[in-house]
Structure 1
Amino acid sequence: MRVFLLLLLVFPVLELFVFVKVAGAIGFFPALLLIIAGSALGLLVMRVAGLATALRARESLQRGELPAEEMFQGMMLAIGGGLLLIPGFLSDIVGLVCLLPFSRHFAARELRARAEAQAARQRAFRDDPAAAQPREGLQRPNVIEGEYERRDQ
């Protein structure tokens, strides 16, 4: 949490520093136009990516598959578009990296590997026979199995 707070405080200062350096190199108005163009590109990406992700997810559901990959790709596109919307060159660079197909596929592979490892760890603890035994002090609920028939008068 402290890292996030530090990043939240330092990131705007870095963005302003980079903007001043770029504006000093190419001029203020060209730098400002680059920031506006980046925001327009981010808005376009967010609109197109949302619709495309919804269509791909629907096709995947019609085939009877879970649209996890499509949803992750859409999420990465949305994050990239959102970062492009934020004024600043550093956020634009990170947003463009999120939009590149090879970086999205790499992130998807890494996330899938982590999710599979987490699921394996949870299964390992769930299948533990000692965990299946009721703990002392905890009572099992009284369950009476049977069939019934309702007869109204």
Structure 2
Amino acid sequence: MLIRLLLLFTIVPIIELALLIKLGNYVGLLPTLGLIAITGIIGASLARSQGFLVINQIRNKLSTGSLPADSLIEGLLILIGGGLLLTPGLLTDVTGFSLIIPITRKAIRRVAKVKLKNQITKGNIQFSFFGNNKSSRDNQEYNWQQTDKKDNDWNNLSDSIDVDFKEVDNDNEDDNSKKNK
């Protein structure tokens, strides 16, 4: 993984620089700088608008009680695409636009979803629920649909449970109910 990151952060900037120099020699310095600025501006505004659309999709899914898995993946792709569009370069701009434009983003989402599912199945990606350090396989074994379990199963969920409460003064309620009678 370290070698991949090292190659990514060294080879990609070298290729980007070479492409920008070639483009600058072909069309000139000012048009090349203008192209970099325009793609950054258009990319930022497109990423912003697409991001708001995905956020609304997530809200709608959550309000209906369904999980927004596809929308979350699309949100991540938009975030990555926006970051790529802010970095100067032609390759990063093409990649960034492909992650932000809805048609290409959906195709990339399908591929990413399959790869993510394969990594989870292999056990290369693990999830932690409720603060436990169990792998995704351990958490899948716990059947959330079982309702006939005893109260001691709450111990399996977490060391702590967050609750909201409202304190009610029972004495005042009793007084108010007696006055109304």
Unaligned stretches of 5+ in structure 2? 124-136, 139-151, 153-181
State the number of aligned residues: 125
- Residue 16 of structure 2 contacts residue 91 of structure 2 at CA under 8 Å; is this kept in 1? yes
Looking at structure 2, the residues matched to 113 and 56 of structure 1 have their Cα atoms a distance apart, in angstroms, of: 21
Give the match for residue 99 of structure 1: 100
- Corresponding position of 2:59: 58
TM-score (norm 2): 0.61
Q: Do the aligned partners of 2:99 and 2:108 also contact (CA within 8 Å) in 1?
A: no
Alignment partners' CA distance in 2, 1:121 and 1:94 = 28
Shift of 1:119: 4.7
CA contact 1:46–1:82 (8 Å) conserved in 2: no
TM-score when scaled to structure 1? 0.71
Which residue in the other structure is 2:14 paired with?
13
Residue 115 of structure 2 is matched in structure 1 by 114
One-letter code aligned to 1:95: G
Aligned-CA RMSD value? 2.1
- For the Cα contact (< 8 Å) 1:57–1:67, is it kept in 2? yes
8 A contact 1:43–1:81 mirrored in 2? yes
Equivalent residue, structure 2, for 1:27? 28
Once the two structures are superposed, what CA deviation does each residue of 1:98-141 show, in whole Å capped at 9, x if it has no partner? Answer: 1233332222222332344445455xxx69xxxxxxxxxxxxxx
Whole-angstrom CA distance in 2 between matches of 1:100 and 1:46: 9
What does the per-residue CA deviation read over 1:35-63, in whole Å, with 9 as the maximum and x for residues that have no partner? 00011112212322332221110001111
Residue in 2 that maps onto 1:4: 5
**Taking CA–CA contacts closer than 8 Å with sequence separation of 6 or more, which of the two structures ends up with the larger relative contact order?**
1
* Equivalent position amino acid for 1:90 in 2: L
1:32 shift after superposition: 0.5
Q: Which runs of 5+ in 1 are unaligned?
A: 128-144, 146-153
